[in-house]
Amino acid sequence: MSQHLLESPFPEVVMQPVYWGKKQKVYRSGRYQAVVDEKTNKLFSVVSTDYKLVRHEKAIEEIENAIGATPNLGGYDVTTDFYNDGGRMVREYVFGDHQIHIQRGDLIKPKLQLFNSYDLAWSFTVILGAYRLVCTNGLVVNEKLFHLKRRHVFHLQSLNLATEISTALKRFSKQAEEWKKWADVPLSKRACGTILETMALGKNGEDEIRNTMDQEAAGFDGEHFPLVSLWIFFNIITWYITQESSIN
């Protein structure tokens, strides 16, 4: 297990009562409360009394307990990013000990992403996927293998994260064996046309995919169709449909 210091201080978040009115007529809400950084007095959100505060620190603790309880997971590299003065956090774990070669120079690794927020932009979210980086052009693909999303009306302890992560890692290894087979199967012009037509991406989307195929191709046939495998085509399609997406 790798141990990491947190890269940035966390907000000192507290729940404060909500008041309204003026002068002698001030009322306290029995249904709403405010999520506030006590250190800076920044108001992140106003929420119902059903809302359960999931602190960034606690979310990390639960995730890393689950990682530690997963057999033979090995070490990991971690990064943490904060937005809106700490109102949102993204923490990513990349597990290098489980990397798999799809083909020479083409690696995939499991990556776990943790999202949490105080400003209601994101629910508590955990995603474990297969992460691929092609160094030549920066194409990044993250195929989801496990996706858990919960609003802040639950108890963290009720989530069986260790079992879910372990199951997703087994799925990662099994899926990687299938991807290795795809790496040896050439994409036909007919199959490419059928898939793009079915996806109905519009001219701009189809042009972007075809341009990326040209960049990834090992060469071209007599009709100038790019020579790519089903694996490469799958990655290009996955990259395209996820590049503008969010966790919402």
pLDDT of residue 3: 39
Under 8 Å between Cβ of 98 and 109:
yes
Long-range CB contacts (within 8 A, 24+) of 135-140: 137/215, 137/216, 139/212, 139/216, 139/235, 139/236, 139/239, 140/239
With CA atoms as reference, report the closest residue to 143 among 128, 125, 158, 161. 128
Tokens matching residue 69: 């309880």
- Report the 10 Å Cβ neighbour count for 101: 12
Long-range CB contacts (within 8 A, 24+) of 31-36: 35/118, 35/119
- Helix, strand, or coil here: 243? coil
Sketch the domain layout of the chain as residue ranges. Answer: 13-48, 56-172, 189-228
pLDDT of residue 159: 73
pLDDT of residue 32: 95
- In order along its 248 residues, the chain shows pLDDT tens digits of 333 444 457 999 999 999 988 877 888 898 999 999 999 999 999 999 999 999 999 999 989 988 888 877 788 999 999 999 999 999 999 998 888 888 877 888 889 999 999 999 999 999 988 887 665 555 566 677 788 888 887 666 667 788 888 888 888 888 888 889 999 999 999 999 999 999 998 999 999 999 999 998 989 999 999 999 999 899 888 888 876 554 44
Q: What is the pTM of this model?
A: 0.79
Burial class for 15, CB neighbours closer than 10 Å (0-12, 13-18, 19+): middle
